[in-house]
Amino acid sequence: MKTNLRLIVYLSILLSFSLIFAACSGQPMGSSNSGGTSGGGDGGDVRLVGSGASFPKPIYEKWVSEFGKVNKTAKIDYQSTGSSAGIKAVQQQTADFGASDAPMNDDELKAAQGGDLLHIPTVLGAVVVTYNVEGLSAPLRLSPQTVVDIFLGKVKKWNDEKIKADNQGVNLPDKDITVVYRSDGSGTTNVFNNYLGKVSPDWTAKGQNMTLPQGVGIGAQRNDGVMGQVKQTPNTIGYVELTFAKANNLPVAVLKNSAGNFVEANIETVTAAAADSAAKTPDDLRVDITNAAGANAYPIASYTYILAYKDQKDAVKGKLLADFLWWATHDGQSFAKDLHYAPLPAEIVAKVETRLKMMTNAGQPLRK
């Protein structure tokens, strides 16, 4: 009897220590944590963690919500950290998938620790020039070189002759221009740099990367940070994804395109920007469409990508990721227009299907 009592006391103490340890570790009993991802294989919820671009944040959040209605076990957490952080997360396998507005370059792909990475375009979007100018009611019109000169700090006043030339009869204030730029590594910035480098030799030497290569103006984190600065600070100008400007009632500049026409950023003009290149897009789907040809093409348009490993180490999580990406690039496209994104062209969807069918676990396809 005494022996049984001692055994019960011993087991109670051991259980108490186990519970205390689990609480201190921040994990539930029986769970594991490998690089910040979880789930798979136990018949319950399947969890995926994604990290990266803020450009597609609104539609990815919508997709996660809607896909959860289709697949009740899917628990997907998308963290808007910026494209640079998204690339790093997928390279180092601290997330189940990354997201970037800019395709990874060859050196970045070689640094991926989990093997070959697939680029899956999800929607088309627009980077827009947004502004907050005192007393200005008419839409601001800007030619390419004027945009370059503003962001180089060469055009310093809102009533500069270069701005006035594109805005005849508009009352522009004699106020200093304050530029707002992305201070984090940003695919939105990469798209903006890509465009500026194409339209002006003054910018070309500065390269195409995820940070603006000069110190004009003030910096802010992510699209919503730039948006907030522009919204609350008079006489500012910045660049954000179209959805962020629309959601916050910020004005958007009308830009002159490569055909010499001033065009607004909308679903039709972004779709037009992709039209010429869709059929010619390479099989790996890494492409840029800035400064596209076409009378109605908006000049700062871009695909945005989810980055996923071709060989998925976890069969259950890999299957969920493949299914989610298939749903997003098919049924999920119906949500694009309401959030001011353009759906993928049919030619791109066909190429995406081929890439998704390449996703495997232990040599077995996750989509057939």
pTM listed for this prediction: 0.84
Residue whose entry in the numeric block shows the structure tokens 């010619």: 280
Rg of the chain over CA atoms, in angstroms?
24
CB atoms within 10 A of CB 181: 22
- Residue 36 contacts by C-beta under 8 Å, 6 or more apart in sequence? 49, 94, 95
Q: Which residues pair with 121 in a beta bridge?
A: 305
Q: How far is residue 281's CA from residue 296's CA, in Å, rounded to a whole number?
A: 20
pLDDT by 10s per residue, the chain, length 368: 444 444 443 444 444 444 333 333 333 323 333 333 444 445 589 999 999 998 999 999 999 999 999 999 999 999 999 999 999 999 999 999 999 999 999 999 999 999 999 999 999 999 999 999 999 988 999 999 999 999 999 999 999 999 999 999 999 999 999 999 988 888 889 999 999 999 998 887 665 677 776 668 999 988 889 999 999 999 999 999 999 899 888 999 999 999 999 999 999 999 999 998 898 999 999 999 999 999 999 999 999 999 999 999 999 999 999 999 999 999 999 999 999 999 999 999 999 999 999 999 999 999 97
User: What tokens does 311 get?
Assistant: 């060989």
Which DSSP state fits 302? E
Structural domains present in the chain: 46-125+304-365 (3.40.190.10), 126-280 (3.40.190.10)
**14 C-beta neighbours (distance < 10 Å), count:** 10
